[in-house]
Amino acid sequence: MTSNANSERLLDRIRTRKARIGVIGLGYVGLPLAVEFARRGFDVSGFDVDETKTSQINAGRSYIPDVPEAELSEVVKAGRLRGTTQMAGLGQMDVIDICVPTPLRKTKDPDLSYVVKAVEAVVEALTPGQLIILESTTYPGTTDEVVQPMLESKGLKGDTDFFLAFSPERVDPGNQTYTTRNIPKIVGGMGKASTEAAALLYGAIVERVIKVSSTRVAEMVKLLENTFRAVNIGMVNELALMCHKMDIDVWEVIDAAKTKPFGFMPFYPGPGLGGHCIPIDPYYLSWKARQNGFECRFIELAGHVNSAMPDYVVERVADALNTVRKSINGSRVHLLGVAYKRDVNDMRESPALDVVELLQKRGAMVSYTDPYVPELRHGGHTLSSVDLGQAIVARPDCAVICTDHAVFNYDALVSSGVLIVDTRNALKDRTSATIFRL
């Protein structure tokens, strides 16, 4: 089959919804994507090494808050979505979408081991005419320097025998306004045919597709988006520390500044950065920059500021306890929320983990409440979530709001008279001598 015939066959199968789609990695990115493809009439197989996930999918049970169980169950019962751990099935797919984690090593260097393992599985099953898309956030050059050579290692040629593109995931867990369907999709292929196929595919499930000139541009787009956030959060975190020294309410400053209708975008301080992207992506960018002889001083400085915020939170706990002549050592400190952001169960890179560890190192007896995280294992310790009402009755020496989940009863917390360190401005409209803001 000629390259043109490979392309035309693939495009036709996508247009007619006959294309079989495989999604590797069934987490916060992969599962919503798989469900959306299935809802739009495609036959979808979800591949994951975790049999617990694939079993739950086949039972119609959602483990991702952003994926309504009714939608998942519907497409599973209709036979349009199934989960499997058998990677050999990749050979029957027309499209393979890779959505695996890209964490950092302890040295802050990129860890592409999950991507490499996924691509190795694809190589074993690769057949002419397939479209391979990488969605995992990574440094510019990954697709053409790592993925493409692996796929071409058995003699097939990219953009001719098979098609390859990068399309960065833009998932925002817990966001009910912007979802897979209405977040614009960036697509960059290794060639014209690859870009066209990937754009047509995503055009079937999202409202808008933006084509860019290469995989490297698409990779850089994602890093720009999240580095922009990380740098601005770093700036406002530093401003929060500065305002504390000057006895100025940083939250009031931000609220006033954001009334300007142009030239200002509000960012907010917090206990540190969390999630699968913002704490990670700037390091991917700075690592790649160093390979090219460029030092990202501005970006790395923001990283230092953000990573120091858990230490500052613990110092605020010490300040609060000091007002009642207590030390952290021996005090009972209760955390409200340990997930990395509001109303999600995602613990990846959560700053609350560092807060817990720092408090324990200083002798505090730590407990927590988080309805989304029933058990917390970190640093050799295992903690279980405590009902907030029971925690208040137990009268901790200090409560720390790390994650402002909507279900928390803040009125009961404030009226209890317990010392509170509020890192999220959750108690914005409440005034009390027992409240210590970031």
Q: Which residues are designated catalytic? A: 277
- What distance in Å separates the CA atoms of residue 88 and residue 193, rounded to the nearest whole number? 26
- CB atoms closer than 10 angstroms to residue 322: 11
Q: 359: Cβ–Cβ under 8 A, 6 or more apart, which residues?
A: 314, 317, 328, 333, 366
Map tokens 């690592």 to a residue: 287
Task: Name the residue type at position 251.
Answer: W
> What letter does residue 158 receive in the DSSP assignment?
B
Tell me the DSSP string of 173-227.
TT-SSS-TTTS-EEEEESSHHHHHHHHHHHHTTSS-EEE-S-HHHHHHHHHHHHH
Task: Name the residue type at position 179.
Answer: T
Bridge partner residues of 421 (DSSP): 400, 436
Bridge partner residues of 82 (DSSP): 45
> What letter does residue 163 receive in the DSSP assignment?
E
Token pair of 123 as six digits: 């190589």
Contact 220, 228 (CB under 8 A): no
- What distance in Å separates the CA atoms of residue 83 and residue 61, rounded to the nearest whole number? 11
SS3 26: coil
Phi–psi pair at 362, nearest 5 degrees: -95, 10
CA distances 109 to 228, 291, 298, 372, Å, are 20, 11, 18, 30
- What distance in Å separates the CA atoms of residue 374 and residue 99, rounded to the nearest whole number? 26
CA angle 121, 126, 130 (to 5 degrees): 120
Contact 309, 317 (CB under 8 A): no
CA distances 147 to 115, 144, 180, 192, 308, Å, are 8, 6, 25, 18, 35
Token pair of 111 as six digits: 């860890």
> What letter does residue 283 receive in the DSSP assignment?
H
- What distance in Å separates the CA atoms of residue 214 and residue 145, rounded to the nearest whole number? 13
